[in-house]
Amino acid sequence: MASDPTRKSVARFTGLIVVLFKLPTAEAVGYYRSSAARTPLLPSFALLATLFFLIAPLSAQQREPDEVIKVNTDLVVFDAQVIDKKSKRIVGDLTRDDFAVTDNGVKQQISYFGRDELPLSIILLLDVSRSVRPIIHDIRDGALNALQRLKPDDQVAVMAFASETKLAQDFTKDRGLVSRKIEEATATDVLGNGTFVGPALESAAIHMEHAPTANSRRVIIIITDNIAATSDRQQRDVLEQLFDTGTVVYGLIVRATIGRVFNIVSFGQIKAINKFVDETGGEVLGAGKTEVDQRLGLIIDRLRARYAIGFRPSGGGDKNFRQVTIEISNTKNRKMKLVVLTKRGYYLRRQSG
């Protein structure tokens, strides 16, 4: 068994080999921002007010399904997965009272609680680099089949990356269109040979700002061999963007022969996406080349089992990172040790005016 210094030296050397082998090219990542506009309240008149109070109860009943997923701009919503630490089994029978939330050390009242009520906005981020290319058809076919597990209101965008990143399809509910774009994105090597995971995740997180459903649960599912290196500075920049957009990262690791060889040579120390997954409260799953369909479907099923927990933070908006902890407060009648997977915190962006 090699010592830790030996492992680190080998990992750094292997990382250099990976970069040289994949022949990366420079990529410029564009930044673009979106801002939400507030709609002014309409003036009220006595007659309209009277009619409103007469029909309000009926209207509220008719709108109930929509009201369930309506989230105020000042409501911060965290996406959380609860698992049994020992068995890794998902725990899906918890209630609002089972959770305790703190924001910058201050206990918060849970104002919104739900499970699989908010639609998903998913960016499917596909690694099409040279080391993955031998099994790219298996990845493509598995992704196409797994789309059938999504609900009609879920929106999907497709991005492909290697040395460069490209948006193949913007958010849409059209599964047929998504399927065609997945096929197109995996049919060419125009994006190069390298595996630039950091810029790809940053581009995806930035694009998540354009998700058409404001209250959706935002997820990046990246399918990759996980063989790449990112600098500490790049990790910080990407994580800031992920926190800012409230995005969870899930990883599906699929390796061709070259990926398996690099993993062995590096003693498993090269893990391109694990930091992003851990910090945002996602999960990493592995898959053989014939298991992409089943394992990607499992990721979607696990997304369905996540809780949405919302609170209204006190204090004004600022640029500082606010650390949040979500824990299980009620474990009296449970023999399991429950673990909450969620993002580490957020940046509060209050609307002015």
The whole-number average pLDDT for the span 94-109 is 93
Output the six-digit token pair for 76. Answer: 């911060």
Q: Which amino acid is at 191?
A: L
What DSSP line would sit under 71-98, residue for residue? --TT-EEEEEEEEETTT--B-----GGG
The whole-number average pLDDT for the span 70-83 is 76
pLDDT per position as a tens digit, 179-234:
999 999 999 899 999 889 999 999 999 999 999 987 789 999 999 998 887 888 99
Q: Count of residues for the chain?
A: 353
Radius of gyration of the chain (CA): 22
Neighbours of 134 (CB within 10 A): 14
> Could you tell me which residues are beta bridge partners of residue 220?
123, 249
DSSP 8-state code for residue 272: T
Distance between CA atoms of 19 and 275, rounded to whole angstroms?
A: 19
The whole-number average pLDDT for the span 114-120 is 87
Distance between CA atoms of 240 and 319, rounded to whole angstroms?
A: 11
According to CATH, where is 3.40.50.410 located in the chain? 119-304
Neighbours of 335 (CB within 10 A): 7
Q: What's the pLDDT band for 265 if we cut at 50, 70, 90?
A: low
Q: Is the pLDDT reported for residue 60 higher than 70? A: no
Distance between CA atoms of 167 and 208, rounded to whole angstroms?
A: 12
> Could you tell me which residues are beta bridge partners of residue 323?
345
- When mean pLDDT is compared over 92-96, 156-160, 258-262, the highest value belongs to 156-160
pLDDT per position as a tens digit, 273-293:
999 999 999 999 998 888 888
Residue 228 has a pLDDT of 84
Neighbours of 217 (CB within 10 A): 24
What DSSP line would sit under 294-323, residue for residue? HHHHHHHHHHHT-EEEEE---S---SSEEE
Which CATH fold topology does 119-304 show? Rossmann fold (3.40.50)
Beta strand extents in the chain (DSSP E only): 76-84, 99-103, 106-108, 112-115, 120-127, 155-161, 165-172, 217-224, 247-254, 284-287, 307-311, 321-328, 338-341, 345-347
Cα distances from 249 to residues 73, 122, 313, in angstroms, run 23, 10, 24
Report the predicted TM-score, pTM, of the whole model to 2 decimal places: 0.74
Q: Is the pLDDT reported for residue 351 higher than 70? A: no
Distance between CA atoms of 245 and 204, rounded to whole angstroms?
A: 10
Which of 159-168, 212-221, 258-267, 297-306 comes out lowest in average pLDDT? 258-267
Residue 24 has a pLDDT of 40
Distance between CA atoms of 317 and 44, rounded to whole angstroms?
A: 31
* Contact present, 318 and 296 (Cβ < 8 Å): no
Which of 59-68, 202-211, 295-304 comes out lowest in average pLDDT? 59-68
pLDDT per position as a tens digit, 317-350:
566 889 999 999 876 556 778 999 999 998 876 5
- Residue 208 CB burial class (10 angstroms; 0-12, 13-18, ≥19): buried
Output the six-digit token pair for 158. Answer: 């497709």
DSSP 8-state code for residue 135: G
Which of 37-41, 97-101, 176-180, 233-237 comes out lowest in average pLDDT? 37-41
Nearest alpha-carbon partner for 309 in 114, 116, 119: 114
Residue 50 has a pLDDT of 36
> Could you tell me which residues are beta bridge partners of residue 6?
none
**Average of per-residue pLDDT values in the chain:** 78
